[in-house]
Amino acid sequence: MPEEVLFRAAKVVDPASGHDGVTDVLVAGEVVEAMGPELESRGAEVIDCEGLVLSPGLVDLHTHLREPGYEYKETIASGTRAAAAGGFTAVSSMANTDPVTDHAGIVAEIRDKAAEAGLADVFPVGAITKGLAGESMAELGEMVEAGVRVFSDDGMCVPTPRMLRNALVYAKAFTDEVVIADHCEDASLVDGGHMHEGSNSYALGLAGRPAEAEEIVVARDLAVARATGGRIHVLHVSSARSVELIRRAKAEGVRVTAEVTPHHLVFTDDDLVGYDTNFKVNPPLRTAEDRDALRAGVADGTIDVIATDHAPHAVEEKESEFDLSPPGMIGLETALGAVLTHVVATGIVTLPRAIEAMSGTPARILGATGHGGPIEPGRPANLVVFDPSEWWVVDPPFASKARNSAFTGSELSGDVRHTMLRGSLTVAHGKVSR
Amino acid sequence: MNRHVLSMHDLTADDVIRVLDTAESFREVGSRVIKKVPALRGRTVVNFFLENSTRTRISFELAAKRLSADVINFAAGGSSVSKGESLKDTALTLQAMGADAIVIRHSSSGSPLQLTGWVDGHVLNAGDGTHEHPTQALLDLYTMREKLGRLEGLRVAIVGDVLHSRVARSLCFGLVKMGADVTLIGPPTLIPPDAPAWGVQVDYDIDGVIPKLDVCYMLRVQRERQRLEYFPSVREYNRLFGLTATRAGALPEGSLIMHPGPMNRGVEIDSDVADLPQAVIEEQVTNGIAVRMSLLYLLLGGGGGAEASAEREEVLRA
Amino acid sequence: MLLDEDDIRRALTRIAHEIIERDKGAAGLVLVGIANRGDHLARRLAEEIERIEGSAVPVGVLDITFYRDDIGLRAEAPEVHETRIDIGITHRTVVLVDDVLYTGRTIRAAMDALTDFGRPARIRLAVLVDRGHRELPIRADFVGKNVPTRRSDDVRVLVRELDGRDAVVVQEAGSLSANGDALEQRSGSATGDALEQRSGSATGEELR
């Protein structure tokens, strides 16, 4: 790898600094060295970026890397490979590993493995409760010292208001940067459900997960956050009314952030009529009204972050009966394309806003220092270069070990050309480097 | 006719009439001394029953054998995944057995449709989860038409756990398709809120509806499917929705009492009611074989499998 | 037109006499018409025989669809009609009655079907028209009229019960499609009746 890389004539879109225009970017070592029109190349590798967009490398706030414990679905190496292919320079790793990421030892193990693979930085998420059992709090303090900023029992909903309150109040001891993230679905209402409860679930003979199961918990969590002054993050919002609740709470000053997945911005429960398990996900894909409200929520900032909820599963697990198939779909490699095609190209969300939701904001929440921009001399060179108008067909095999993508067979516009992690290209000319 | 029969929505009203009319002929075959015709000789029918059901399986087995087809029974206690094999792999195994038709019964809704993506043969749904059971609906339609002479305008009540009953749903769709007048009756917790969109009425007062019925169709109380409480007790269910002797007495003369079986005597239907002459439950079973023969014949009697099409070209050109 | 109403009436009368003469009376006789048109012809024959001999002859109808040798080779499963044979046929003389004898495959199927009903002492065959081009070693015992035809011809028997009039007509090559398939729907029969069609058609046309 040459010491220096010059990105020539790229359209830099950097919401963190407000930069939006064509310029050259020179990278030396691990940092951005210079930016400006027609820089001297002086021996640097020159990459022609005419017609391409250069922005901060994407940051995924919600990723399942499955290691330790479920390496047959994905590993840290294959997961970060998928991340790089998708234009991400940093991802999280959710705590539902085996053993559960509920103490600093596992946090360190995950970080080390990620560094070894060298394809993307991983910022592990710690469990709120020991073993994700929802009964007693995990050692949050120790994990904060190990660098964790986001805590979540994702997969499971925090079972009682009492548990959530304890975690929120306790977390204030550390730094104001600690966030409790909740998977908002009331267990008693979604028990045995496999898709959104509505006309489609009745027609298909599948038990449903009603929208109010999410709305009730969102309302609960907002009330607890309001009362304690703590910071909460609502994972994968799926319902229009949830968006409205969050909007009103923010207006009142409640310290809440929220995220939505690319698939919830694109698909609806109509996509399940063929019983394709690749569309089975929790929370489920809901109606077109919900989807439109989610899109509007991203546009007006009610929803701060677009996060993939990348959830790899083994092929045979997904090639089984719908009700027996585990929920979840992969998303790292299609996130940018999906967002560009379905909400940016359609004019619902501007490109800078989309980039902000996929880089700067999640970097801040996750504590991913050095990622998410701004792109300026002296700062780490964590970048992505993509062609916003290049169409490609989503087709396995993927960089991820898994194949459970709802986008298989569809066409997306927005192709990652180069991903750079601290000055090294993890993806060069569309190919992952290792 | 559609290549597969997975749902009543796969059949047009004309298809339904065709199935019922053809079933007449198979009923006649069933009355002969030699209850067999060579129509599907050389064809292989696989009964892929991943959910226990001796009655339905035997009915399909007899149907296929009376058509001179070769029958393979592939039964499994649980799902394929529980044995470490994906449903797809199991499907490919059936394909390798040369199945011209696969009759699938499964506790997972949608598995017949998933199967069609993996096999070349015809797929016939013998009941999938809480989704549909088209052959049951067809044999019920046959029974009604035979006893009452028509389907159009019949006033039918379907009583019980509609939410979890694939029989109820298929029957509903089938009756509406044929122009009957359907009312669903049961505890509100067990009737899908969406039901009026299916073209039916919903009522919670069985006594108000009974005197105006041509057919009173009682569903099993699906105890094994309910994990959550939908009504407080069997006693209350029977009091509010059960077909007691008194209620049976209030049915109009000439109306039918039907049930898909097996019955929970004393719960949804009182014991002596099940034995009344207007209860045609046993005939439903007999008609089942003829209707299933009709479906197998209509599906396999046309088009044929991949080999047949090459042969077909030759013969028809000769 | 090959035969008109009067021709048909005379032919049936003659066949009735021939049947009686051959078996020296009507005792032990059962007429079985092959659906769809053989049925009506069989009943008329039975009436004739009863008029001549004074004794009623039992009549049944046999649909041979399930015994066809071409099931699964056509786009749609052939349509089935009623079978009703109320009387035992074992030890009796069964006279199969059909409208047109052509390749012989229909009769082969009919004999297979009959043997599932019992063991007749003998089976004879009466047809209104024999148009030749046999593909199996089958011959009729009683024939209304022998009509030489081309394979591409389409011979149809119309009966007043189904078609409003009695006639035997031939339709020639002009009514066929480019690849030699007979195309028209038989009046009164939506899909496949007899299976003796020489060249294929999508829905299994009535064959002789």
SS3 of B132-163: the string is ECHHHHHHHHHHHHHHHCCCCCCEEEEECCCC
B28, B37, B302 member nearest C75 (Cβ)? B302
Contact across the interface for A199 and B197, Cβ inside 8 Å: yes
Total count of residues recorded for chain B: 318
| Percent of chain A topping pLDDT 70 | 100
Report the amino acid identity of residue C75.
A
Give buried/exposed letters for B90-103 (b at 16+ CB in 10 A, else e).
bbeebbeeebbbbb
Chain B residues lying within 8 Å of A322, measured CB to CB: 108-111, 114
Same domain, B162 and B270: yes
CA dihedral sign, ordered A318, A323, A326, A328: positive
Question: A277 to chain B: nearest residue by CA?
Answer: B114
User: What global pTM score does this model have?
Assistant: 0.88
Output DSSP code: residue A344. I
Classify residue B318: in a domain, yes or no.
no
Q: Are B127 and B136 in contact (CB under 8 A)?
A: yes
Find which of B86, B116, B169 to mutate to test the A interface (most A CBs within 10 Å of its CB): B86
ipTM entry: 0.86
Among the listed residues B22, B43, B44, B56, the single catalytic one is: B56
User: For residue A393, what are the CA distances in angstroms to A268, A330, A407?
Assistant: 21, 16, 9
Question: A323 to chain B: nearest residue by CA?
Answer: B108
Mean pLDDT of chain A: 96
- Name the nearest CA neighbour of B87 among A386, A322, A256, A369: A322
Give the residue, B302 or C193, on which the prediction is more confident.
B302
Q: Are C102 and C73 in contact (CB under 8 A)?
A: no
- Residue B310 scores a pLDDT above 80: no
CA distance B254 to A316: 54
CATH of the domain at B258: 3.40.50.1370
Residue C190: the pLDDT is: 36
- Residue C192 scores a pLDDT above 50: no
The shortest C-alpha distance from A110 to chain B (Å) reads: 29
Cis peptide before A374 (omega within 30 of 0): yes
- Residue B226 scores a pLDDT above 80: no
Same domain, B126 and B195: no
Mean pLDDT across A147-153: 96
Residue A175: the pLDDT is: 77
Known active-site residue B9: no
The tens digit of pLDDT for each residue in A207-233 reads 999 999 999 999 999 999 999 999 999
Confidence of residue C79 (pLDDT cuts 50, 70, 90): confident
Chains linked to A by 3 or more Cβ pairs within 8 Å? B
Query: Which option is the CATH number for A58-366: 3.40.50.720, 3.90.1300.10, 3.20.20.140, 3.40.640.10?
Result: 3.20.20.140
Q: Are B42 and C80 in contact (CB under 8 A)?
A: no
Domain A4-54+378-432 has CATH 2.30.40.10: yes
Same domain, B20 and B125: yes
CA dihedral sign, ordered C7, C10, C12, C14: negative
CA distance B194 to B202: 10
Residue B232: the pLDDT is: 82
CA dihedral sign, ordered B28, B33, B36, B37: negative
Known active-site residue B259: no
CA distance C145 to C7: 9
Question: In chain C, what are the domain boundaries?
Answer: 5-175
Confidence of residue A72 (pLDDT cuts 50, 70, 90): very high
Cα A51–A52–A55 angle (5° rounding)? 145
CA distance A73 to A95: 15
CA distance B142 to A164: 59
- Residue A38 scores a pLDDT above 60: yes
Residue C179 CB partners (closer than 8 Å, separation 6+): none
- Name the nearest CA neighbour of A368 among A7, A62, A22, A117: A62
Secondary structure element (H or E) that encloses residue B273, with its range: helix B271-274
| Structural domain for B244, as ranges | 134-284
Classify residue B95: in a domain, yes or no.
yes
Among the listed residues B43, B66, B105, B220, the single catalytic one is: B105
Query: How would CATH label the architecture of C5-175?
Result: 3-Layer(aba) Sandwich (3.40)
Same domain, B189 and B249: yes
Secondary structure element (H or E) that encloses residue C111, with its range: helix C105-117
Q: Name beta bridge partners: A259.
A: A305
Q: What is the DSSP string of B184-225?
A: EES-GGGS-TTGGGGT-EEES-HHHHGGG-SEEEEPP--TTT
Classify residue B248: in a domain, yes or no.
yes
SS3 B255: coil
Total domains, chain B: 2
The shortest C-alpha distance from B181 to chain C (Å) reads: 30
Among the listed residues A14, A304, A309, A415, the single catalytic one is: A309
Same domain, B176 and B145: yes
User: For residue A164, what are the CA distances in angstroms to A136, A215, A259, A356?
Assistant: 11, 16, 19, 29
Contact across the interface for B37 and C74, Cβ inside 8 Å: no
Residue B200: the pLDDT is: 97
**Virtual torsion, Cα C132, C138, C139, C145, nearest 10 deg:** -30
Mean pLDDT of chain B: 89
- Residue B219 scores a pLDDT above 90: yes
Q: Name beta bridge partners: C95.
A: C31, C124
| Percent of chain B topping pLDDT 90 | 68
- Residue C24 scores a pLDDT above 90: no
CA distance A386 to A395: 19
Residue A2: the pLDDT is: 61
- Residue A44 scores a pLDDT above 50: yes
Output DSSP code: residue C18. H
Q: Is A409 on the interface with B (CB under 8 A)?
A: no
Q: Are B293 and B242 in contact (CB under 8 A)?
A: no
The tens digit of pLDDT for each residue in B233-273 reads 888 888 999 999 999 999 999 999 999 988 888 888 888 99
Report the amino acid identity of residue B225.
R
Chain C residues lying within 8 Å of B67, measured CB to CB: 66
Residue tagged 């050259």 (tokens):
A24
Chain B residues lying within 8 Å of A205, measured CB to CB: 109-110, 128-132, 166, 169
Q: Where does residue B317 rank: exposed (0-12), middle (13-18), buried (19+ CB within 10 A)?
A: exposed
Q: Are A255 and A227 in contact (CB under 8 A)?
A: no
Residue B224: the pLDDT is: 58
Known active-site residue A309: yes
Cα A173–A177–A181 angle (5° rounding)? 95
Residue tagged 């073209």 (tokens):
B199
Same domain, B154 and B119: no
Contacts of B110-115 with CB under 8 Å at 24 or more apart are B110/A204, B110/A205, B110/A206, B110/A275, B110/A321, B110/A322, B111/A275, B111/A321, B111/A322, B111/B50, B111/B87, B112/B4, B112/B6, B113/A274, B113/A275, B113/B6, B114/A275, B114/A321, B114/A322, B114/B87, B114/B88, B115/B48, B115/B87, B115/B91
- Residue A363 scores a pLDDT above 60: yes
Residue C10 CB partners (closer than 8 Å, separation 6+): none
Total count of residues recorded for chain A: 434
Question: In chain A, what are the domain boundaries?
Answer: 4-54+378-432, 58-366
User: For residue B238, what are the CA distances in angstroms to A288, B219, B263, B264, C175?
Assistant: 41, 12, 13, 11, 67
Chain B residues lying within 8 Å of A202, measured CB to CB: 192-195
Known active-site residue B130: no
Q: Are A366 and A151 in contact (CB under 8 A)?
A: no
Secondary structure element (H or E) that encloses residue A246, with its range: helix A240-251
- Residue C176 scores a pLDDT above 70: no
Among A228-237, A323-332, B62-71, C187-196, which stretch is predicted with the lowest mean pLDDT? C187-196
Residue A1: the pLDDT is: 53
Question: B40 to chain C: nearest residue by CA?
Answer: C71
CA distance A22 to C164: 86
Residue B86: the pLDDT is: 78
A304 C-beta neighbours (distance < 10 Å), count: 25
B88, B113, B166 member nearest A274 (Cβ)? B113
Mean pLDDT across A112-118: 97
Residue B262: the pLDDT is: 85
Residue C173: the pLDDT is: 62
Q: Are B256 and B148 in contact (CB under 8 A)?
A: yes
Phi-psi region of C57 (alpha: psi -120 to 50; beta: other; left: phi over 0): beta
C73, C79, C82 member nearest B315 (Cβ)? C73
CA distance A250 to B67: 70
The tens digit of pLDDT for each residue in C107-149 reads 999 999 999 999 999 999 999 999 999 999 999 999 999 998 8
Cis peptide before B192 (omega within 30 of 0): no
